[in-house]
Amino acid sequence: MNQPTITQAQADARVTQLIRDTAAALTPPPRLELVPHGTGANDCLHDGEPEGKVVINRAYWLRDIPKSQSMNIGRQVKSYWEAQEHRIVSAGGWQVGHPNIGGVSQPDGYLLALVWTEGDNLYLEATSPCLWPDGTPPARNGR
């Protein structure tokens, strides 16, 4: 639990890479628009994780995709993640045309999501595992 981790900057780069690489595999190619809410470092709320750890989260709207292409984009995202050997942990909404896919990147354990929202809008999101902001756990008291 109090082991060194990657840094916030390294996690930020990986989150961005996961989203951009996924988007680059899609046809038609989307224009990425940052979702400002919840972006950046947030407190790690996983049970058993020490205070002070954070997760890095980033989400981008997939813009310039025709609404009629939502299902096609969902299938492409799922196929791309499977080809990258990421683990698909949930996939739903297919029967109603609202693809929602959850995954975990391999081997580093980032949470991945393609999310459908009202109005046939889609966004891609990636969240890092819990980490120390500078990669180093705080010194213990009494040292």
| Tens of pLDDT, residues 85-100 | 999 999 999 999 999 9
Nearest-10 Cα torsion for 122, 127, 133, 137 = 170
State yes or no: pLDDT of 23 exceeds 50.
yes
Nearest-10 Cα torsion for 89, 94, 99, 103 = 10
State yes or no: pLDDT of 101 exceeds 90.
yes
| Tens of pLDDT, residues 52-79 | 999 999 999 999 999 899 999 999 999 9
pTM of the model: 0.92
Q: How far apart are CA 143 and CA 140, in angstroms?
A: 6
Closest CA to 73 of 124, 19, 26: 26
